């Protein structure tokens, strides 16, 4: 699990999540562990390559024999294998990284499922509005076919600082993100796609061309960049261009600098991953050092503004201070 290198009692670059982070993973109605889909692959056993399931069956480690030969059982594919079917790669990626929670009785509070064994139409994602926030994306859907940038929230869940999975995810998986974007792009378009989304995408494409155009003046580029950073939908598409490193380096650096200073929290957070780690906003994360936090100096006025006024900070949606906010959690 990549995390901050300073972790007491652990080797650099790793961490052991606290007990509270494990609680949602237990008490389920299924085993949270290796599965047939994941184990049904060849493995090199010190010079001898054999199927893992067949090997375990040969060693009599199963309480029952395999229901069929391994070659007839389902399996995931390596999402990095460019020669494999794109849909199988994307569904395998989502199954391995997301379906341990996003399934029936998975312990999460979202109703959709990401098991690779389900047809996409049965996952509860296609054309469904997100139940827990839309990152400021108009007409957002959990999965919008043929629209990898907006209003689909899939890519948002993989690229924002609060990305999934919640444990062990401190770095954006750019390779996995591109895979999911490519997969969504080739899904059949939904007939019910809102026309305003198509207009927004067309306008954003034109603005991106103006930003990167060789004939554009400095003022035209600045105006184009301001438009792209004025909404989350356009900023998500701009972030994809930045991630692809298709802009000239000076222009790319300018985009990152302006985006990470945006007054819109969702836009600012979206581009944070392009900053050096020491320039990113420090967050508590899963590794907390109480002594380090208590040693910091406080600022009551700054705290008041963050709680009552700051965009993107949602403490007040569950907590109250002096009667302001929602009395769901402790005051």
Confirm whether pTM is higher than 0.85.
Answer: no
d(CA 309, CA 263): 12
Residue 190 is predicted with a pLDDT of 57
Q: How does the average pLDDT of the chain come out, rounded?
A: 80
Q: Once rounded to an integer, what is the mean pLDDT over residues 71-96?
A: 94
Reported as a single tens digit per residue, the pLDDT across 204-232 is 888 888 888 877 888 888 999 999 999 88
**Token output for 61:** 């480690």
On the question of pLDDT at 12 being above 90, the answer is no
Residue 66 is predicted with a pLDDT of 92
- What is the CA angle 23-21-117, rounded to 5? 75
**Distance from chain centroid for Cα 109:** 16
Residue 292 is predicted with a pLDDT of 83
Q: Once rounded to an integer, what is the mean pLDDT over residues 19-46?
A: 75
Is residue 112 left, alpha or beta, with left meaning phi > 0 and alpha meaning psi from -120 to 50?
Answer: beta
Residue 25 is predicted with a pLDDT of 56
Q: In the structure, what pLDDT confidence band is assigned to residue 4 with cuts at 50, 70 and 90? A: very low
On the question of pLDDT at 193 being above 70, the answer is no
Q: Once rounded to an integer, what is the mean pLDDT over residues 60-89?
A: 94
Reported as a single tens digit per residue, the pLDDT across 111-146 is 889 999 999 999 988 888 887 777 777 777 888 776
Residue 161 is predicted with a pLDDT of 63
On the question of pLDDT at 32 being above 60, the answer is yes
d(CA 292, CA 284): 11
**Token output for 283:** 């967050």
């Amino acid at each position: 699990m990549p995390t901050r290198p300073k972790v007491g009692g652990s080797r650099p670059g790793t961490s052991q999540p606290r007990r509270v982070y494990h609680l949602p993973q237990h008490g389920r109605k299924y085993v949270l562990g290796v599965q047939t889909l994941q184990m049904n692959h060849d493995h090199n056993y010190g010079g001898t390559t054999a199927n893992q399931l067949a090997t375990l069956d040969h060693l009599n480690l199963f309480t029952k024999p395999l229901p069929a030969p391994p070659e007839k059982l389902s399996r995931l594919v390596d999402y990095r294998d460019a020669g494999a079917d794109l849909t199988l790669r994307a569904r395998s990626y989502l199954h391995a990284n997301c379906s341990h929670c996003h399934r029936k009785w998975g312990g999460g509070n979202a109703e959709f499922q990401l098991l690779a064994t389900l047809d996409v139409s049965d996952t509860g994602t296609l054309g469904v509005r997100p139940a827990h926030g839309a990152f400021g994306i108009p007409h957002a859907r959990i999965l919008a076919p043929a629209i990898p940038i907006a209003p689909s929230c899939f890519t948002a869940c993989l690229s924002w600082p609060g990305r999934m999975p919640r444990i062990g995810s401190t770095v954006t998986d750019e390779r996995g993100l591109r895979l999911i974007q490519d997969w969504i792009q080739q899904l059949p378009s939904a007939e019910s796609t809102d026309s305003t989304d198509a207009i927004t995408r067309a306008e954003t494409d034109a603005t991106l061309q103006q930003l990167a155009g060789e004939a554009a003046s400095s003022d035209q580029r600045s105006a184009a960049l301001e438009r792209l950073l004025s909404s989350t939908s356009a900023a998500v598409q701009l972030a994809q261009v930045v991630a692809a490193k298709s802009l000239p380096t000076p222009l790319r650096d300018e985009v990152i600098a302006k985006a990470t200073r945006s007054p819109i929290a969702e836009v600012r957070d979206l581009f944070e991953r392009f900053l050096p780690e020491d320039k990113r906003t420090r967050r508590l994360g899963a590794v907390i050092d109480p002594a380090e936090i208590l040693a910091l100096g406080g600022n009551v006025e700054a705290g008041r503004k963050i709680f009552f006024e700051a965009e993107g900070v949602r403490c007040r949606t569950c907590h109250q201070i002096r009667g302001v906010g929602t009395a769901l959690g402790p005051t």
